[in-house]
Every structure is written in C-alpha cells, then in structure tokens.
C-alpha cells in the first residue's frame, strides 16, 4: 500500500488494489434453523414457521416473512403480525450444529487446497482458486459451450458439463458487456465465470441434502459475502467488477460491511457530525474520513481499537480484503456452550444452568471429537444420551468457566456488554472421556466436583449474586497420533492424564442444589473475520494471549493452574 499511516499528508490517497486473482465462494444457507425443522417436519414447509429462542425469534421461514415477520423479532410482535405463525423450539442448538457439520464436510470434500472456513453455523467460505486455475488450463476455447469442469486431478471423469460462454446465475453489474475476443485464459471474467459454475454445482449438492443456499462469487471474502447477499434466497451472484468494486459498495449501508461494527459506525457518525444512517459512499467520500483520521478516531486515546484499524476500515470502504480463507480443521480449537439469563440469584439456579450447559457440551464433544460418531442421520433428531463407541480424535486438556453479571436494559448505557466478565481454567477431569457413562451422569459429576467450585471461586460474594451469563468451554486440544493400535493411543492419553492429575489443582467441595430455566438476550457484537493463529513458532495461550514456544506449553499451563487467584481479563 502506498500509504503512510503516520503522515497526515497521505490521508486522501486512494488505496491501490493488489492484483487479487483469487476465486472465493461464500455459501449462506437460507433461514437455516427453519430449514432444519422443516426437513424433520415436511408439513411445516408451507406454513409460516418461526424458531423460538427464549422470548425472540432466532429466525423464520420465507412464508412467515411474507407476513412481515422478521428474525430477532419479539414473539408477541410476530404473533400479532401473523396469528397463524407456528413456533418451534430452538433452544438446543445441537441438532443444528450436526447439520451444519454435515454440510461443511460435504463442501470440504470438494476442496483441493483445504481452504474451507465456517462462519457461524450457516455460512462457509471456499477458496477455489486452484480448482479454477486447473480447469482454465483444460478449456477448449473453440468449443466453450461444451466445456467440462473436472473435480479431480486423478479422475478426469469426475466432474460436470457446463457452458463456459456465460456466467451461471446473477451478475453484477447486470449490464456488463464482455469483450470475449480480448479475454485471455487468466482474465478476471473467465476465472469468476468458472467459479460461478462450480458454485452452482456445489449448491446443487447441498440441495441434495435438503438445504437451499445463496452464494456469492468474487475475488475476496468481503466482496463474495456481500455479493451473495444481493439475490436471496436460493440464488447466486458473481461480482464481475474488473477495475473497482466501489460502485457496488457505495450504495450499501455502512452497517452491512463485515468488519465495521456498531462502535466504529457510532464513532464515524461523531466524526462526521451526523445522526443519519451512513452509506459506504457517505463515509468514503467525506473529506474528514481518511486512514489517518480513522486511526486517530478508533485507536487513539479512548478509541480502544487495535493499531492499524484505521487503515483496515479504509481498505474495507474500497472493497479491499486480503484476509485468507483459513485452512479446514478436522478438530476444533475449542468447544464452548453458553447461555444468558435475566439474573440468576440462587446457587440452585446456577447449578441447574451448569448441568444443562455441561450436558450439551459433552454431547458436542462426542459429535466433534469422536471419529465414528454419526451425527447426521436423521437430519434433526434428539441428541444422543449415550455413545459407547468411537475413538477420540483429540482430547481437550483444559476446562474453562466464564461468568458475567446480569445488566438490565436500564443500565446498558452505564456498562459495556461484557462488563464484569471473568473466567478461570483448570485441568479437565479424565472421567469425561468415559464412553460407557451417559453424558447426563458425567455432567452432574463435572458440575458437582469442578464447575461449582470454580463458580464459587469466581463469585465469592453470594449476597450480590445476579448472573447474566454462564459459559463452559473445553480447549487446549491434545490430538491423537496415528497408530495401528487404538490401545496405544488411549494408553498415551492415560499416561498423560495421570501426570496431569498428580499436578492438578484440588478444590473444596461445596454442595450445590436446585434448578431453573434460562432466559433472554442476544449479544450485538461487531462482525469480523476470525482468522487462525500462526502456530509455526508457538502456540497462543487462550488464557492470557501470550505466544508460547511449543516446548514450554505444558509449563505455561501449569503456571496458570498454580495461580488459583488468577482470573482471565475481560474479553480474553
């Protein structure tokens, strides 16, 4: 970039776009939760359907949207607009996660470079640059209408026929006239054209599982996601702007740009001295907005942003996003379950909430970490109460509990959402990996012996107890090495666990009791791409954020365990 962040004189230089020759696909499943319920109950496909989580609609199908119902709408308001609205319970996310994993695995099976990134439960990015480049080298330019897209280097018959003269699906700009005579095999249009046909084929494969989707095709993650949003549902859009995506971005509300969240927009409104909703054009062309001004505004004193955020936002306003689609992971970095409440004031309520969360967490571990666990047949089914088979692909070594006090809406102007959020971690007890014991029984034991003592440590003053969030997470995955004998793998885990138990932290046993149902609220966080950490030279500690050399990881974890009074900083 030809730009000096510390020099105000460079503030109005337009960023130069790198020659981004990638082909990025972004898949977004249509009203995903509703589709999951509909596939399990086909009679609901023709009626207005809403997925209820506590007192709001997590989402609704398109039949309901025709009646004015919207996702994140209150139940009472939705029922007023559509009295015939059918409500389905969406409290337990396990079945939705299972379907999400199935679709993710399907899309990953078509990747050559392994760059497949899941965003939430219903979005997936694919970098198909290598697949497209390979097929460009095979195309017969004298017979484009009878082209063949090869899906395997090893098997040339594995693929599909397509017409390489036209882009598949919708195109932006819609009035674009191409000059085919001057197009080379590596032209932007031809690369994205090939990508559009691959996207359509993959959408058909996902529909074979019973789920429709929208897709965006472009040269980076930002533009692919925004292009896919343009024509929903069950459609796709290819962004073919070969020179600049600015005309595509300019009319969009600023809040639609991933990576530019509510705090940034509020700060920019203050900078521009306006209360009106901002568009990308408003922000990009205003003389007061520049990389230098944004850096001073967002990362300066009181801004709280990371260094370089001004340049980052400036680039996003011009459609430039160099973030990579991250490599697919067979094993997640961590698995966490949380719930929010309208103030838990009794230990019995806390214990009931922890049992519910711990049970869901254990079932999630079985789905994500056991190699023989079948989580996708049928599409929506009750979570299993017992597994009893399979081999652990990885075993998490660390258990973390996070709590946060409840802040009523009247106090939201006084406190940040995560004000008072504290965490503490310990070694995960080995009994959680026993596949012969039902998850409910393991959860009771885990809450009794580990989670409640952790809760008491984090919240010593019971007279002021008013809990708004509980989060239980397992992390620090210990991956199993390949072995011809399963016993060798389990024996290795066993030896390591025995050493950790000898070193482990003992907790006082305090009796908990009771039960209550969770309630309310959603977190309006800023949306950003979550990129994987570079672990070639070390591992980033999830507790304190330090990058630790691989050889020192165990000692560093031991340091946290011994410091019983250590509490994870807010936002850690």
Strands 394-405 and 213-218: unpaired
Other C-beta atoms closer than 10 Å to the C-beta of 21 total 12
**DSSP state string for 156-189:** TTSEEEE-TTS-SSEEESTT----GGG--TT-HH
Report the alpha-carbon distance of residue 199 to residue 26 in Å, rounded. Answer: 9
Distances (CA, A) of 262 to 277, 407, 412: 12, 19, 15
Q: What is the dihedral sign for C-alpha 387, 393, 398, 403?
A: negative
Report the alpha-carbon distance of residue 309 to residue 84 in Å, rounded. Answer: 47
- For residue 94, what are the contacts with CB-CB under 8 A and spacing of at least 6? 360, 363, 364, 367, 383
332 contacts 394 by C-beta, under 8 angstroms: no
321 contacts 127 by C-beta, under 8 angstroms: no
Report the alpha-carbon distance of residue 384 to residue 98 in Å, rounded. Answer: 12
Q: Where are the beta strands (DSSP E) in 23-133?
A: 24-29, 49-53, 56-60, 86-89, 116-119, 123-127
Distances (CA, A) of 552 to 158, 504, 533, 538, 546: 47, 18, 17, 9, 12
Residue 146 bears catalytic tag = no
* Segments in 400-520 forming alpha helices (H): 439-446, 452-458, 486-503
Active-site residue (options: 38, 77, 91, 123): 123
390 contacts 372 by C-beta, under 8 angstroms: yes
- For residue 106, what are the contacts with CB-CB under 8 A and spacing of at least 6? 205, 206, 209
Other C-beta atoms closer than 10 Å to the C-beta of 409 total 8
Nearest to 101 by CA among 463, 368, 431, 486: 368
446 contacts 395 by C-beta, under 8 angstroms: no
Active site amino acids: 123
């Amino acid at each position: 970039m030809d730009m000096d962040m510390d020099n105000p004189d460079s503030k109005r230089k337009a960023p130069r776009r790198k020659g981004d020759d990638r082909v990025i696909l972004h898949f977004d499943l249509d009203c995903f939760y509703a589709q999951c319920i509909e596939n399990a109950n086909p009679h609901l496909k023709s009626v207005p359907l809403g997925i209820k989580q506590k007192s709001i609609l997590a989402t609704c199908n398109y039949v309901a949207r025709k009646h004015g119902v919207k996702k994140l709408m209150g139940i009472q308001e939705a029922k007023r607009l559509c009295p015939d609205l059918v409500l389905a319970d969406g409290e337990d996310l396990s079945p939705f996660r299972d379907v999400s994993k199935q679709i993710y695995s399907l899309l990953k099976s078509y990747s050559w470079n392994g760059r497949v990134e899941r965003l939430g439960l219903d979005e997936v990015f694919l970098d198909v640059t290598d697949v497209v480049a390979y097929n460009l080298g095979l195309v017969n330019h004298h017979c484009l209408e009878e082209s063949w897209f090869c899906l395997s280097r090893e098997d040339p018959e594995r693929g599909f026929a397509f017409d390489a003269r036209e882009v598949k699906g919708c195109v932006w700009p819609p009035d674009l006239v191409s000059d085919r005579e001057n197009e080379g095999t590596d032209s932007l249009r031809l690369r994205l054209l090939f990508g559009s046909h691959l996207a359509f084929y993959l959408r058909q494969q996902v529909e074979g599982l019973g789920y429709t989707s929208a897709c965006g095709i472009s040269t980076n993650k930002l533009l692919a996601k925004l292009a896919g949003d343009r024509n929903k549902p069950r459609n796709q859009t290819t962004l073919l702007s070969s020179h600049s995506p600015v005309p595509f971005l300019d009319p969009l509300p600023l809040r639609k740009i991933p990576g530019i969240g509510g705090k940034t927009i509020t700060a920019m409104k203050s900078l521009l001295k306006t209360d009106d909703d901002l568009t990308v054009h408003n922000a990009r062309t205003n003389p007061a907005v520049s990389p230098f001004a944004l850096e001073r505004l967002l990362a300066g004193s009181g801004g709280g942003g990371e260094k370089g955020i001004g340049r980052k936002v400036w680039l996003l306003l011009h459609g430039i996003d160099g973030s990579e689609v991250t490599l697919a992971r067979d094993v997640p970095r961590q698995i966490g379950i949380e719930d929010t409440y309208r103030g838990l004031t009794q230990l019995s309520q806390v214990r009931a909430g922890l049992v519910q969360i711990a049970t869901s967490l254990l079932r999630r571990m079985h789905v994500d970490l056991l190699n023989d666990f079948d989580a996708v047949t049928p599409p929506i089914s009750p979570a299993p109460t017992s597994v009893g088979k399979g081999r652990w692909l990885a075993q998490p070594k660390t258990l973390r509990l996070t709590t946060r006090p409840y802040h009523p809406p009247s106090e939201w102007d006084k406190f940040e959402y995560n004000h008072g959020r504290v965490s503490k971690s310990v070694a995960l007890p080995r009994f959680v990996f026993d596949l012969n014991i039902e998850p409910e029984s393991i959860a009771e034991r885990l809450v009794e012996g580990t989670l409640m003592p952790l809760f008491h440590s984090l919240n010593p003053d019971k007279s002021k107890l008013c809990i708004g969030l509980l989060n239980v997470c397992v992390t620090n995955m210990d991956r199993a090495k390949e072995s011809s004998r399963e016993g060798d793998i389990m024996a290795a885990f066993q030896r390591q666990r025995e050493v950790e138990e000898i070193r482990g932290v003992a907790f006082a046993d305090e009796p908990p009791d009771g039960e209550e149902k969770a309630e309310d609220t959603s977190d309006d966080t800023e949306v950003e791409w979550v990129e994987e950490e570079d672990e070639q030279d070390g591992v980033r500690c999830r507790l304190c954020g330090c990058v630790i050399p691989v050889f020192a990881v165990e000692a560093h974890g031991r340091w946290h365990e011994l410091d019983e009074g250590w509490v994870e900083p807010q936002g850690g």
